[in-house]
Amino acid sequence: MNKEYYKKKMEENALELDKVKSRLRIFPFLKIVCFVAGVLLVIGTFQWGWDRTICLISAALSFVVFSLLYRWDEYYLQKKAYYMALHSVFTNEISFLEGDYASFDKGEQFIDKKHAYSYDLDIFGENSIYHMINRTVTHEAGAILAGKLSSIPGSEEEILAKQESLSELVRKDDFRHRFMAICKGFDEEKNNYTLITEHKSNNSRLTSRAGLALIYISIAITLASMLLAWMEIIPWSVFITLFMIQLFVPMTFNKVLNRVGSDIGFLYKNTRIHADLLQSMYPETFNAAENRDLKEHLFGTYNSREALKELSVLLKKFDQRSNAYILVLLNGLFLRDLFLLRQFYRWKDKYLPHLQSWISALAEMEARVSQATYMFNLPEFIQPLITERADILIEASGLGHPFISKEKRVDNDIVINKKQFLIITGANMAGKSTFLRTLGVNYILAVSGMNVCASKFSFTLFNLFSSMRNTDDLSSGTSYFKAELERMRELIRYCRAHRHTLIILDELLKGTNSKDKLDGSVLFLKKMAELPVTGIIATHDLELAKLEDEFPGLFQNYCFEISLSEEEHYSYKIQRGVSRNLNATYLLQKILSEEL
């Protein structure tokens, strides 16, 4: 359904793009005609004796039309870039629905092997949760999204607020597409706004009213002298002298002007994009508290849209100061550089304290748009409910892993009671590890305010710690067993420091012999039962299942059973009890019979 939706959007977008392209075709010709006409009229005035008044007025009109055409051409070029970016947005979403996430950043920079759960649960990296959700372009927005997926909120109210804000954005599909298309224009190599913050220079005389009055008086005198010289009332030498004086004055600020131009002038493109993002947000009505507060922050005290638009224009002028001929003319007649520097200083005095918070607010919206787009693409996922039952951590029906397509996925039902330990046994490849990750990943989606892969999902707020992927490290002399012990030490410290934690463990103490492993595992679980902990432990060690008989209220046995005949069959369905069929010997015998 959503694929057809995006294809329809692409068709509508293609029609708009064609309209823009057709208009762009005529502008180059018209600009050339107007410019050449203006030049010929000026030349005709002085070289061929044409009527001076008529020719100069006509030339001025030609250059005015040329200027308007230039602006319209620039406007439609921006529209073309926008529609092309929108096409890319729709194309990427279709690819996502086909299982291709190559267009989106994987978030490998956020991989942390020591994190409480993100490494084990595939939160970051190739084909990770971040990889599937992420639509961000800016580094800051990517980091915000990573933070949402690698932290547990402090309260259930915070989760409800997230759910409300994301659900609202899911319904605003045109806004989300427009926002993502505008973001496509960002150049992340030129997106360092700290350069403006670090630019401390200022000049109070230049920004004062007295300074502005002197600038206007000087310009008025110079222009008046040009008019009087034209009327042959005073000699041209007076005008030329005043022109040279005005040309010289801005040169005393050249060091500052050049530094601003070289240090931050290039930021004008990204600043314009931020202004465009604000423009897209301004007319939107948000009812969800988090979205409403974010908009209020951007437009409440100051109009950030106008402020960033003004900054973009200023920075573009700084960036374009390299045109020496225009610079000489504008400074000699209008002291352009003084106005430019004055406007920049005044902008900083008024808006600089708010700049980074505006950029961060837009990055937050960029992260939310990513989450909402992911939710929109998977309408079969449901919004989880926060249960009022304090004795339950998770109660889920039809629970599946969001990585696995609907056609291939096997869903399960599970209830995890507080202060209880689930011992899950089963053969190799029967689905134990996948089930552990299914629980963890869906919980992270839930506390992030997102929908989950289930038909029903109720939960209470708890912390999460996993140990599923311990590895040795030869460079530091860390054996596999030592790595396991260090992870257990981290787990104990984490559980002691937090209110209540669900621990997800895949095969305790794999780095030692079977008897030592069993004794150590039993000791560890009994001690963990004394802490504010609930546990899910996958194991091949059937002896560990005897803990249910010893502590029937504390430990519960679950298993993933397989059937062995001529071909092994995996149901991937969890059930109560202890696994009876193991497959390692069976599969090895099968290989030996085939190869020997």
Q: Do 392 and 345 belong together in one domain?
A: no
145 lies in some domain: no
- What is d(CA 184, CA 180) in angstroms, rounded to the nearest whole number? 6
- What is d(CA 16, CA 37) in angstroms, rounded to the nearest whole number? 33
Residue with tokens 């015998």: 589
Could you tell me the pLDDT band of residue 564, with boundaries at 50, 70 and 90? low
pLDDT tens-digit profile of 149-166?
999 999 999 999 999 999
Tell me the CATH number at 473.
Answer: 3.40.50.300
Amino acid at 34: C
State the residue range of the domain holding 579. Answer: 385-595
- What is d(CA 362, CA 372) in angstroms, rounded to the nearest whole number? 15
Q: Do 364 and 397 belong together in one domain?
A: no
For the beta carbon of residue 260, count every other beta carbon within 10 angstroms: 24
Q: Is 189 helix (H, G, I), strand (E, B) or coil?
A: helix
Q: Compute the C-alpha angle 375/403/125, nearest 5°.
A: 95
Q: What is the mean pLDDT of residues 224-241?
A: 86
Could you tell me the pLDDT band of residue 475, with boundaries at 50, 70 and 90? very low
Q: Do 233 and 368 belong together in one domain?
A: yes
Residue with tokens 């994301």: 166
Q: Do 526 and 408 belong together in one domain?
A: yes
Q: Do 277 and 371 belong together in one domain?
A: yes
162 lies in some domain: no
How many structural domains are present in the chain? Answer: 3
Report the helix count and the strand count for the chain, using DSSP H and E. 21, 10
Percent of the chain with pLDDT over 70: 89
Q: Do 410 and 285 belong together in one domain?
A: no
Residue 536, pLDDT > 90, answer yes
pLDDT tens-digit profile of 13-71?
999 999 888 888 887 788 788 888 877 877 777 667 677 678 778 878 887 888 888 88
Q: Do 408 and 356 belong together in one domain?
A: no
Structural tokens at position 239 = 């005008």
Phi and psi for 381 in degrees, rounded to 5?
-75, 155
Q: Do 423 and 530 belong together in one domain?
A: yes
Q: Which of 168-172, 342-346, 553-557 has the highest mean pLDDT?
A: 168-172
Residue 584, pLDDT > 80, answer no
Please indicate whether residue 320 or residue 494 has the higher confidence score (pLDDT). Answer: 494
Q: Do 194 and 340 belong together in one domain?
A: yes
Q: Do 254 and 395 belong together in one domain?
A: no
462 lies in some domain: yes
Q: Do 353 and 443 belong together in one domain?
A: no
DSSP state of 477: T
Residues 6+ apart with CB under 8 A from 180: 89, 135, 369, 373
Whether the CB-CB separation of 271 and 362 falls below 8 Å is answered with no
Last residue of a domain, one of 36, 68, 103: 103
- What is d(CA 484, CA 493) in angstroms, rounded to the nearest whole number? 14
Could you tell me the pLDDT band of residue 147, with boundaries at 50, 70 and 90? very high
Last residue of a domain, one of 358, 377, 396: 377
Q: Do 468 and 590 belong together in one domain?
A: yes
Last residue of a domain, one of 103, 118, 143: 103
Residues 90-102: b if buried by 16+ CB within 10 A, e if exposed: bebbbebeeeebe
Could you tell me the pLDDT band of residue 426, with boundaries at 50, 70 and 90? confident
Structural tokens at position 58 = 């006509």
pLDDT for the residue 429: 78
Residue 477, pLDDT > 70, answer no
Residue 261, pLDDT > 80, answer no
Residue 589, pLDDT > 70, answer no
48 lies in some domain: yes
Residue 138, pLDDT > 70, answer yes
539 lies in some domain: yes
Start-to-end CA span in the chain (Å): 51
485 lies in some domain: yes
Please indicate whether residue 149 or residue 211 has the higher confidence score (pLDDT). Answer: 149
232 lies in some domain: yes
394 lies in some domain: yes
pLDDT for the residue 476: 45
